[in-house]
Amino acid sequence: MLRLDDLQVFVQTAESGSFSAAARVLDITPALASSAMKRLEQELGLRLFVRSTRSLRLSEEGERYLPHAQAALAAIDGGRQALAQASADIAGPIRLSAPSDLGRNVLLPWLDTFQQAHPKVSLHLRISDQTADFFRQPLDIGVRYGALADSSLVALPLAPANRRTLCASPAYLKRHGAPASPEDLRQHNCLRYVMGEQTHERWTFHLPRGVETVTVKGDRVSDDADVVRRWAVAGHGLVYKSRIDVSPDLYAGRLVELFPPGYGEPTPLQLVSAHRTLLTPAVQRLHEFLRTRCADILYRRK
């Protein structure tokens, strides 16, 4: 097996013209340099240098092998630099907006973990279900669901396979039973929320027979998605939300999924910015961190 230090001796000897000169550069003895060359030649089964009492020069095989040895050392050095850069501490502010439910119940503990790993990063978090205006508000990035209406924004995927899921608490299901189809939702109390000026009361499902949309009704509606989720956990009705939002409740048994995961409306989650210049190393590291966490929570086994 080739040794890295033997390759270093070979390359340095070729560049310096002698074992003694190479040994000085590498801070080893000439005897060690000579032994390294003998070991490498024995491993390769060829002579890399033509030696005489007064000179040392590369053999024909050594000439051919040198660029490969140099490339190998350069690749290893590049790998070290990449690892060092990846593990280097990041710093600076991150001004982030997030929806209420996702922000409070999912992102907050994740951001705590991220900041513990990168204590030089300062977080400025804006929690709201109102769509953030990146051109008027002091924001670097925002977490958003769904397709972007503004094509000028930069989007980095966090959970492209995320979908909505229909769920309810065990207490509600014990009292009222579970719907067997979207049409059955008309007989249930459906908890709705307002986005902007629009009430989210048309629930769309992707069934094997095709897409089906049902207009639902209920006795509770809020402009705060976290309030709607809390109502569902308390047993007041059915809720149709992003699976990432309710995953902690599903895994803890506070909510139960009622339809297969593939039936839910696609709701991709992404990190959005007004311009690529705002994607600082700290923001890019946060994107990688959040993308991994989203995958963990979506595909985790109960």
**pTM: predicted TM-score of the whole model, two decimal places:** 0.67
CA atoms 77, 83, 87, 88: torsion sign: positive
Residue that wins the pLDDT comparison between 20 and 258: 258
Contact 107, 99 (CB under 8 A): no
DSSP 40: H
Least confident of 32-46, 65-79, 83-97, 175-189: 83-97
Tokens of 21: 């000169």
pLDDT tens by residue, 240-285? 999 999 999 999 999 999 998 889 999 999 998 888 888 888 999 9
Nearest to 278, CA basis, from 140, 171, 142, 170: 140
Write down the architecture of domain 4-87 according to CATH: Orthogonal Bundle (1.10)
Same CATH topology for 92-160+268-299 and 164-263?
yes
**What letter represents residue 115's amino acid?**
Q
Burial class (CB in 10 A: 0-12, 13-18, 19+), 301: exposed
* The token pair that represents 224 in the structure block: 């705060």
CATH of domain 164-263: 3.40.190.290
10 Å Cβ neighbour count for 182? Answer: 19
Tokens of 204: 């769309």
d(CA 110, CA 107): 5
Tell whether the model's pLDDT for residue 227 goes beyond 60: yes
pLDDT digit string (tens) for 105-128? 899 999 999 999 999 999 998 888
Is pLDDT of 87 > 60? Answer: no
CATH dotted code for 92-160+268-299: 3.40.190.10
Q: What is the DSSP letter of 97?
A: E
Burial class (CB in 10 A: 0-12, 13-18, 19+), 208: exposed
144-173: pLDDT as tens digits: 887 766 667 788 899 988 999 999 999 999
Domain boundaries, the chain: 4-87, 92-160+268-299, 164-263
Helical packing angle, 108-117 and 281-299, nearest 10°: 130
Q: Which residue has the tokens 């002091």?
A: 138
